[in-house]
Copies of this chain bind each other. A is one copy, B any other.
Amino acid sequence: MQRYFIPPNGWQEKQVMITGDDRHHIARVMRMNAGDSIICSSPEGMSAECEIVEITEHQVTAHVQRWLEESNDLPVSVTIAQGLPKGDKMELVLQKGTELGASAFIPFQAARSIVKWDGKKAEKKQSRYRKIVKEASEQSHRSSIPEVHPLMSVKQLLAASEAYDVKIFAYEDEARSSNYQSLSGILSNAEAGQKIIACIGPEGGYTIEEVNAFKQHGFQTVRLGPRILRTETAPLYLLAGISYHFEELGC
């Protein structure tokens, strides 16, 4: 059943009003009619099976049939802080990272990020990124939409990291030595409900200043398997590993 995330003003008692892109998707892309069923999710993470009662040029109206008891969010909250990568790789991280259960994303301007965002571009990008995670949440039947934070500097990222219980960063050079903390060791010490932040460097990796700053702020280096992963593959490995650990192995 198709899922739609409906903003707060779309809910009225047992009635759901759907407008904009979602209305278009229901009416034109899915070509649904009155009587068809969809799942509507609220910003608070509640979901209901709803029956479409009317489709007009401006709005789809649906009635709540039953509330669903479901939660397929990871038992730990994982924020992916991604050093701005080249091209459209950030979009891949957002889409796949959402499917794999990330709670939030922080794009950050690393010293070796080749891409630079100015004010207007940052705004446009963020709006596009929010659309990507919304659609990926709907498609993967998540009960919540990950947050996409505005672009941060490394300094802002370090300040924001104070709110997290577990802080890790993927640092290839150290991971190739034997001087790394294993991901499984870190996850074994993490508890359900805790907040994890994982920082992934851009294509060129971190500068030594960044590495030292992360360490000074309590970040631990992790290895993500013995092979070298591209910047956009690293968060996907990390999220799949966390899912496997908590949701499949039941550690």
Interface residues of A (CB under 8 A from B): 72, 92, 96, 99-101, 139-142, 182-184, 223, 225-230, 233, 236-237, 240-241, 243-245, 247-250
A139: chain B residues at CB < 8 Å are 228, 230
Q: CA A248 – CA B96 in complex, angstroms? A: 22
Interface hub of A72, A96, A182, A240 (most chain B Cβ within 10 A): A240
A237: chain B residues at CB < 8 Å are 100, 240, 243-244
Interchain CB contact (< 8 A) of A248 among B100, B141, B241: B241
**Interface CB pairs A-B, < 8 A, 20:** A96-B230, A99-B228, A99-B229, A100-B229, A100-B237, A139-B230, A140-B228, A140-B229, A141-B227, A141-B228, A182-B248, A184-B244, A184-B249, A223-B248, A225-B247, A225-B248, A236-B240, A237-B244, A241-B248, A245-B249
* B183 and A244 contact, CB distance less than 8 A: yes
What 3 A-B pairs have minimum CB-CB distances, sorted nearest first?
A240-B240, A241-B244, A72-B226
Q: CA A173 – CA B164 in complex, angstroms? A: 36
